[in-house]
Amino acid sequence: MPLSNTPPLKFIVVTGGVLSGLGKGIAAASIGHLFSSALKVVPMKLDGYLNVDPGTMNPIEHGEVFVLDDGGEVDMDFGHYERFLGVTCKSDWNLTMGKVFESVRDKERKGDYLGKTVQYIPHVVNAIKEKIRAIAHAEHADLMVIEVGGTVGDMESELYVEACRQLRNEAGPKNIAYVHLTYVPILHSVGEQKSKPTQQSVALLRQRGIQPDVVIGRCRKHLDEHLKERISMFCDLPKEGVITGLDVDNVYKIPLVFNEEGIINILNQKLGLNVQPNLARWEQLLHNAENPQREVVIAMCGKYTRLMDSYASVIEALNHAAAHLHAKPVIKWIETTDIENEQRPIEEALHDVQGIIVPGGFGARGAEGKIQVVRHARKNGIPFLGLCYGLQLAVIEFARNECHLAEANSTEINPHTSNPVIDLLPEQLHVTQKGATMRLGGQNIEVKKGTRAHALFGDSVRLRFRHRYEVNPVYIQTLEKHGLVFSGKAPGREIMQILELPHHPFFMATQAHPELTSTLDKPNAFFYEFLKTAMQPLTEKEKVTA
């Protein structure tokens, strides 16, 4: 398979050093954004962990699992890729070492290596390069932006770094650029930016055969000229190749920062391109976000609140809607286990909020606290948006308090409940493997006419899903009889996808994850209408009486 097209395929490889969590994914997405108006940019993420995908990982350990339209469970950086590049990513674009070793082992078992001793080099490294080539060819890419997970020096990333080093010879030195993201600390005792961590990180990268063309120094202030000169000298690259990765309060500023720092000029020169980014629309939406007309307090009620990355896409979707509404969302984190354990009265926790979100989750811990939150929103006319698990808990709350099914529950929470209003999907009954076995990916929703959902989406909408449990069809008639409206369902099946309460200012929930398809340019309608309603003053007439 040829490695290049006409014009030749280009590569930008993004590596990181010093410490993890610096924002390589946002850096890669921002660089790709600058080229995306002129080129077809395809992003890849190379993750070193042995899991096949992050689907079985705890959100507190790994952050949010991002679900793609094709059903792939991938690293949360793919959320940045889709939002910044305007692409629909595919699961193959997230290469994990678990996938790599699985493919190499399968080939060995089939005899594809013709009896040779299978080794890390060349066989595993070749498998990585073959995957990169195959994706570039299949997608007709002009530019591959490849993010290497972890930090240089991590044992689990070594084979990826070697594969990216070898790409230089195969693609040609004029068709590949290396960007290295590092950390530039400022010591409080002297107030001076320090270059030593960057020098050492680049030295590690060079030991592995890669000379960076650009070094991005992540810092809370712009890098001063003296520091740029020092990094330039010790890291053997032009001063223009040292740019600031400025700490910002809004990640959508990063492409603008990079552009102002001149990264596009450096990469254009290195790759023989002449791309001029189109940032006008981006700048206008950022201007709206930077100049809000008012704040709106939104309660995020979950059990993974120790790590905000667990709800990264929900936060992004709120920010997208806010930019179009000239508003600033102020998120109030509510740990529902505290409410459940009576460590915090619900009235105190929610007394100043204008809207409530119950996001996705799993398991029994914190569930009763979330159910109390849902009831509080429903009874007090507070705008409410339930996502995935949030829909299921809204059904449980309504069944208990409006349908008089006192023991109503999910079999996930209580397998022996006498009123299982939420139960396993039929196809999940005999599933034993946890990875990639849920109802995953993009699914079409048939929307009921005359509902709020229909006003938002029309006759149908496509959203992304990640769930094992559903509203039990046995209870649908009872729930609807008492006033709950199921306004969206799976075509041809009794899988309820959207619910709403007609006489509430805004009470909607979806089994889907609409946050995964929201972008700065086009916010998801659930979040837009929710935030718009939350911004409106609540009158006594609008409150739902007990």
Chain-centroid distance of CA 114 in Å reads: 41
Residue 73, SS3 per DSSP:
strand
Element spanning 281, H or E: helix 280-290
Each residue's pLDDT tens digit, 138-191: 999 999 999 999 999 899 999 999 999 999 999 999 999 999 999 999 987 778
Does domain 289-542 sit in CATH 3.40.50.1370? no
Please name the residue that has the structure tokens 């990094």. 231
Q: Can you give the pTM of this predicted structure? A: 0.88
Element spanning 358, H or E: strand 355-358
| DSSP letter string, 78-92 | HHHHHHHH-----GG
Listed in order, the ranges of the chain carrying CATH 3.40.50.880 are 289-542
Does domain 10-278 sit in CATH 3.40.50.1370? no
Listed in order, the ranges of the chain carrying CATH 3.40.50.300 are 10-278
Closest to 244 in 3D by CA, of 50, 431, 30, 532: 30
pLDDT at 336: 86
Terminal-residue alpha carbon distance, the chain: 68
pLDDT at 541: 38
Each residue's pLDDT tens digit, 46-103: 999 888 877 666 555 656 788 999 998 898 899 999 999 999 999 999 999 999 999 9
Query: Model confidence at 8, in pLDDT bands (50, 70, 90)?
Result: very high
116 or 363: which carries more pLDDT confidence?
A: 116
Backbone angles phi, psi at 63, to 5 degrees: 90, -175
Rounded Cα distance, 546 and 541, in Å: 13
Q: Which residues are catalytic?
A: 388, 513, 515
User: Per residue, what are the HEC states of 101-120?
Assistant: HHHHHHHHHHCCCCCCCCCH
Residues 6+ apart with CB under 8 A from 71: 91, 436, 440, 441, 442
188 or 266: which carries more pLDDT confidence?
A: 266
